[in-house]
Amino acid sequence: MGRILAVDYGRKRCGIAVTDELQLIANGLTTVRSHDIFDFLKNYLAQENVNTVVVGEPKDMHNNPSEAARFIEPFVNRLRNAFPDLDIQRFDERFTSVMAFQSMIDAGLSKKKRQDKSLVDTISATIILQSFLESQKNRTK
């Protein structure tokens, strides 16, 4: 079984998270500048067995695509074209940045560390991936 990789795509940075080989646990991996994401993915996918890539899907409170969807959709389309053998899944990313920030507070991180946007992006990707894993478990029940 291959890993699942999650991307919290942003205009400046992309948070990246990945599961273990058994797809049980989501771990934050890194944050990559958005214009470097395809180079990163090409290298990572060449080294690791990844079956699925989950990309955060921005929605508003009415379950409609949010304003951010207009720059994420082209990324997803390019991702599908660049890696046609990968299973590309979308998953609701509402509130992940808020949850990431709250988890940093709960972990006791200093105000200076909480201002690190790349850390917030990595944690957000981890939350997206963990939520995706839980939704998959609930679908099989």
Instruction: Write the pLDDT tens digit of every residue in 50-103.
Output: 999 999 887 666 767 667 678 889 999 999 999 999 999 999 876 566 666 667
More confident residue, 65 or 108: 108
Which pLDDT does position 101 carry in this prediction?
A: 61
* pLDDT greater than 90 at residue 33: yes
More confident residue, 18 or 93: 18
Instruction: With beta carbons less than 8 A apart as the criterion, state whether 99 and 56 touch.
Output: no
Which pLDDT does position 94 carry in this prediction?
A: 61
Q: For residue 89, give every residue at least 6 positions away whose Cβ sits within 8 Å of its Cβ, in sequence order, or none.
A: 52, 53, 54, 55, 132
CATH code of 3-139, in short, is 3.30.420.140
